[in-house]
Amino acid sequence: MRGRAAWWKYDIRRVWVCPLCSRRVKTGGDVVNQACDCQANSNPPQQVWMRLVEEAPRREATAAAAPEGS
């Protein structure tokens, strides 16, 4: 049976961050833009678009390959 590490290894959700309130939202891969409602109660109401956070791909630790010598 796979543990929790296997689920996090293949997590393909997108992470969005609001530039004003720094709120983070995780969505599925089908969402292409995300609006934050932090300025909805302001006068006049404004819509703030969240930014997509591009995280570096997770890599597993691998054994160092032996250098090729001549």
Instruction: Lowest mean pLDDT of 7-11, 21-25, 34-38, 50-54, name the range.
Output: 7-11
Collect all residues with Cβ–Cβ distance below 8 Å to 14 and sequence separation of at least 6.
26, 27, 28, 29, 31, 52
Reply yes or no on whether the pLDDT at 38 is more than 70: yes
Q: Which helix (H) or strand (E) holds 35?
A: strand 35-36
Q: Give the pLDDT mean for 31-55.
A: 89
Q: Give the pLDDT mean for 53-61.
A: 71
pLDDT of residue 10: 72
